[in-house]
Amino acid sequence: MTFVSDLDPQPLWKHFDEILKIPRGSKNEEAMRRYVLGVAERKGLGVKRDAKGNFVVSKPASAGREEAQITVLQSHLDMVNEKNADVTHDFERNPIAPRQDGEWVRATGTTLGADNGIGVAAMLAVLEADDLVHSPLELLFTVEEEIGLVGASALDGSIVTGRRLLNLDSEDAAVTIGCAGAGISSLALPLESASPPAGTSAFAVALTGLQGGHSGMEIHLPKGNALKLLARALFAASLERPLHVGTLSGGGKHNAIPREARAVVLARPEEAQAIREALEREAVAIRAEYPAEKDLSLTLQEEPAPERAWTEAAGRRALALIHALPHGVLAMSQDIPGLVETSTNVAAAASKNGHLEILTSSRSSVDSALRATRLRIRAAAELAGAKVEESHGYPGWKPDPNSPLLATFRQVHERLFGEKPEVAAVHAGLECGVIGEKCPGMQMISFGPRIEGAHSPDERVHVPSVARFWHLLKTLLEELASSS
């Protein structure tokens, strides 16, 4: 056990401390599933499963509250596995190493997994507690959320009978009542390769040090996209000096803004200094545009020439496509001030089987705008000669500001904290949209503690906000136990 188990509230933090030891990347949740089911078995609670691996643990109501309406609690088991390039960490074997930074808990060079590990830990604390007052409970644990709400999308709605749901996967003080829908577009650009021309040298170009972050919740922030910026810098430099790109890669997760990108550039040795200067001029311009990216680094270093690399024409098509693809905020909501309505993220690129494979992820709370964004990506891809495959995506969650569940939450929040809660919709995928489709008539809200930097090694959770979240959850469950 670590210091985490001693934090307040201990019933929640002791489970999170255990969770830090358990591998739980998307599609690798079996050990996490066994841990939760072990808690349920020790408490003698029933479990319903579906074919995908989602499951519901049922807990009977407190004495005298048996006739109250069922309350559903929901969190996802998986986390995003991200680490800094200079960190050695095997997410399938090594535990997450937590450290305390003032009022915050964070990991050491990796994601922490507070998203959604704190929500899971809270549900486990509810399962174990004998002193809580609550209605009949269904605790729904889903899988593969971080790779596109896959588990929720395959949910067998018949295992959930309740029709009011508390999703515990929010990351700020607001209560969330709506979210964006999203879809992934995968591009495959065929690129010819050949042996490097005689007399040329190879140079590794790396753009590193960016903050990265969640491609929905943080897409509006002044954060650079390493893939887009490296393609831009190389494209600009190629207009000044004779060079061509032999390979290009970067990013990884569809829901993370790329923090690093790398390329191999082929050029005559005597052009190296001029290319370096051209790239540095572009880096100076980029730093001026992104002053928050204080650790941005663009480097050029000679390396052994590869046996094969993209031809000059192929490398230029790759740069042009990545540079042309849209990225960032495309439209703001006209109904909710400050809410991003539509965005897209150029998430990853890698060479594979003679193609440059590019992954993009688009979001919108307006279905037609999401469709138009994906058409725009397809148009750019077709102009470059790339093939496009589009995932089915998932629906958004339309806000219902007049739901009885939200009204109860407002009352409890104001009674506990002396202030009305902030009510918001988010520009990110929450499982509520999918669950609402699978379980028609479901009332839903989402809330949680304060988590920053989710999906990046900068992820951290605010300890006092976890105590506040736990107090709110317990009190809300008791209040909901009084309603039929």
Active centre residues (catalytic) = 78, 145
Distance of CA 58 to the CA centre of its chain: 29
Listed residue (106, 84, 151) closest to 295, CA to CA = 84
CB–CB of 229/207 below 8 Å?
A: yes
Radius of gyration of the chain (CA): 24
Cis peptide before 54 (omega within 30 of 0): no
CB–CB of 156/185 below 8 Å?
A: no
Quote the tokens at residue 399.
């806000």
CA distance 245 to 265: 5
DSSP annotation of 79: B
For CA atoms 133, 135, 141, 147, the dihedral sign is negative
Residues whose CB is less than 8 angstroms from the CB of residue 469 and which lie 6 or more positions away in sequence, other chains included: 118, 122, 447, 448, 449
- b/e burial code for range 20-44 (CB count within 10 A of at least 16 → b): bebbbbbebbeebbebbbebbeeee
Mark out the alpha helices in 260-399 (DSSP H runs): 272-289, 312-324, 367-384
CA distance 374 to 342: 11
CB–CB of 263/287 below 8 Å?
A: no
CB–CB of 111/459 below 8 Å?
A: yes
Residues paired with residue 363 on neighbouring β-strands, in sequence order: 182, 343
Helix (H) / strand (E) containing 206: strand 201-208
Give the other-Cβ count within 10 Å of 401's Cβ: 10
CA distance 67 to 308: 71
Listed residue (124, 98, 164) closest to 40, CA to CA = 124
Read out DSSP for 156-176?
A: -GGG---SEEEE----SSSEE
CA distance 212 to 298: 16
Give the other-Cβ count within 10 Å of 211's Cβ: 21
Residue 188, helix vs strand vs coil: strand
Quote the tokens at residue 398.
């339309």
CA distance 182 to 43: 38
